Structure 1
């Protein structure tokens, strides 16, 4: 059996991004999942039925700790002699590709699930770009998660090595049976609505992801406040006298008797890419903005929602857009890598410019008012996901690639 190590910086990446994939791969290969220790790594071992190995890797740059991790990876590879190592996150990719080359691992694969340096400036951009170039030099094979990531790797001349997008993109595909409207019972939906105080007549917008600045939370929150002014007959619902002083809020339009709600599902990570105090204040003082924290299963939240909004600044190939589309939610996304490969404007969703509050407001307003548009977008998005991004297609493409490369 081909001996393959799948490597990530933190165990959450293996647990969430590769759910089910490692179990599939283990039917024909000897798979070991490598990352820092934690509950998520233990869960991978239990659910996927694969071996695990703990090596702590810092997400932030830390010269001493990174060197320690590098040496531990080198010693582990030298001892275990894997045929293939395959990393999926930036720091794990850099360290494992270097350690793998030093240890003589014949096949060293890295999948770029997104690039950070194009969105940084000054010395940090040059540092991150240099790190990705070093990673690629030590790797034998590079796989961008989507066409947008591939284009960026080429445009910035990160590597001259061949770049290949497996299947149609995305690291794990989507299980369209698991993510379907029928997967959540009516009773479960009602229980969740009751717990969140979602009432009949409420129009629910949903965001799923980390609550950080780069996910477009600032623009989403401000656009939602403005939308309330447009749609809500009762001014008390807007927090009268406390709405943000913004041009968005002054737009005039006949009001409808629709109560908008915004559910934010995901962890607040103020230590990494923090939201500004003003954004946090707008979230906290608006009773129609509901935060839930991280959720193992996002399907119930999608099942009770009317539209999905994902105004991120940058992505590789977002799983959550596939999930929402499979759950038959009309989607509003920004014109970025991955999102614009899944969603095509006015064909199966709405695509808006990045960091554009007014365009976001206009799209949310249109989605609320036009039920026919919602129906068409939803039908087309689900169909495209089933055709191009089914989980089995992605897994089979990866299996074939491993078999082709195996020494």
Structure 2
């Protein structure tokens, strides 16, 4: 086996810490277990702290918080190009220092500078898109719009492969590309996964029936609808509670909405699974989703699940088979699904068992890394 030196690069806004930010840590752990030498590059404080907690090698790298170059800001494009030139030089130095065999890029700015730098030092370049490219590559055919998106599309020529996290994301990205674009040949779907931690769900009869959400506390995650649905449920079933794990800019808004209800805000947790596994039902009411690691985790824990029928969710949750699907932004439908699972223990057991079986068949991350990512690192598509 060739021992690969893999540089994993992921950056995001400081308040973002979801599946896309945890993925580099999961990936680095697996690569280390397989005998390779991963290092994580990121400016994201929480991600770096997580890597440190897991005793992974990491490097606090450069990142510019200005990410919106649309509208009137388009006149600043020359400044963005200058930034990319500086970032490319920085990455050439750093990648050479780490003697990278593979550069695995996972964020927009890094797709440009990291790809150029990676190729210049002779490394294989892999992209993983965490649901950004469908936005980045809008209006590529309009010559006077989206110059940064055009730069990212130009940089794709240096990528040996571009992985998407779901079939849904792959379709959305492909739809934004010209039919003749060579980028199509580089696209492939590799699902995110998690490893089996085996604290599968065991009901605790001495406490209230618990619904749980784990994720960023922002409007787009459907937290408001979840609180509204829970309020209706709790009015008729007083032995219920809702636990929210995570943090975000809209937390105070949700705390006000939940005032007077048995809703507990646990805040950010490096590893939320010991809390999640104590729930009776897992909720994922997001408005949009590329691919949800939290749904895979809930499946691994053998929890009954309610999720919204958006993005990559239906590729994990098959309605009435591995969970229940409801429309996004519909607290009434969410309430009905919560009521259904609360009232039907046999349904909970059946859905949870099927979710667990699907996890073992499709979403064990060790197998995904060994059979899909490593071959890409070695050979590309």
Q: TM-score range by the shorter chain?
A: 0.7 to 0.9
Tell me the residue number matched to 1:265. Answer: 245
The answer for unaligned runs of 5 or more in structure 2 is 70-75
2:10 maps to what in 1? 8
Equivalent position of 2:175 in the other structure: 155
**Could you list the runs of 5+ residues in structure 1 that have no partner in the other structure?**
190-198, 233-257
| Pair 1:32–1:304, CA change in 2 (3 A) | closer
CA contact (8 A) 2:30 2:366 kept: no
Task: Trace 1:314-329 onto structure 2 (pairs within 5 A).
Answer: 314-329=288-303
**Matched residue of 2:163: which SS?**
strand
1:300 aligns with 2:274: yes
1:60 aligned to which of 45, 64, 67:
67
**Cα 1:349–1:18, aligned 2, differ >3 Å: closer, same or farther?**
same
Q: Is the 8 A contact 1:308 1:331 kept in 2?
A: yes
Q: Which residue of 2 aligns with 1:111?
A: 128
Query: Aligned residue for 2:159?
Result: 139
Q: SS where residue 292 of structure 1 aligns?
A: strand
1:360 paired with 2:334, answer yes
Retained in 2: the 8 A contact 1:350–1:363?
yes
Query: Could you tell me how far apart the structure 1 residues matched to 2:137 and 2:287 are?
Result: 12
Within the alignment, does 1:89 sit opposite 2:95 as a pair? Answer: no
| CA distance in 2: counterparts of 1:28 and 1:3, whole angstroms | 10
Cα distance change on mapping 1:211 and 1:116 into 2, 3 Å: farther
- C-alpha spacing 1:404/1:116, structure 2 compared with 1 (3 Å): closer
TM-score of the superposed pair, with normalisation by structure 2: 0.80
Measure, in 1, the Cα distance between the counterparts of 2:340 and 2:137. Answer: 33
2:138 and 2:149 in contact (8 A); partners too: no
Distance (whole Å) between structure 2 residues aligned to residue 73 and residue 146 of structure 1: 29
Q: CA deviation at 1:161?
A: 3.5
Work out which of the residue numbers 380, 388, 401 in structure 1 matches 2:354. 380
SS in 2 for 1:200: coil
The aligned runs of 1:240-259 (5 Å cut-off) are 258-259=238-239
Verify the 8 A CA contact 1:35 1:57 in the aligned structure 2: no
d(CA) in 2 for partners of 1:386, 1:402 = 24
The answer to whether the 8 Å contact 2:226/2:285 transfers is yes
TM-score computed with the length of structure 1 as normaliser: 0.75
Establish whether residue 312 from structure 1 lines up as the match of residue 286 from structure 2.
yes
Corresponding residue number in structure 2 for 1:74: 89
Given that 1:180 and 1:327 are in contact with CA atoms closer than 8 Å, whether structure 2 keeps it comes out as yes
1:14-33 to structure 2, matched below 5 A, reads: 16-26=22-32, 27-33=34-40
State how far apart, in whole Å, the 2-side matches of 1:134 and 1:312 are. 32
In the aligned structure 2, how far is the partner of 1:95 from the partner of 1:333? 37
Q: Does 1:226 align with 2:232?
A: yes
Are residues 144 and 179 of structure 1, via their aligned partners in 2, closer, same or farther at CA, if it must alter by over 3 Å? Answer: farther
RMSD of equivalent CA atoms: 3.5
User: How many positions carry a matched residue from both structures?
Assistant: 354
Q: Secondary structure at the match of 1:164?
A: strand
Q: Any residues of structure 2 matched to 1:390-405 within 5 Å, and which?
A: 390-396=364-370, 397-405=372-380
CA distance in 1, matches of 2:81, 2:244: 34
Alpha-carbon contact 2:244-2:263 (below 8 Å) kept: yes
DSSP-derived class of the 1:19 partner: helix
Are 1:339 and 2:313 counterparts?
A: yes
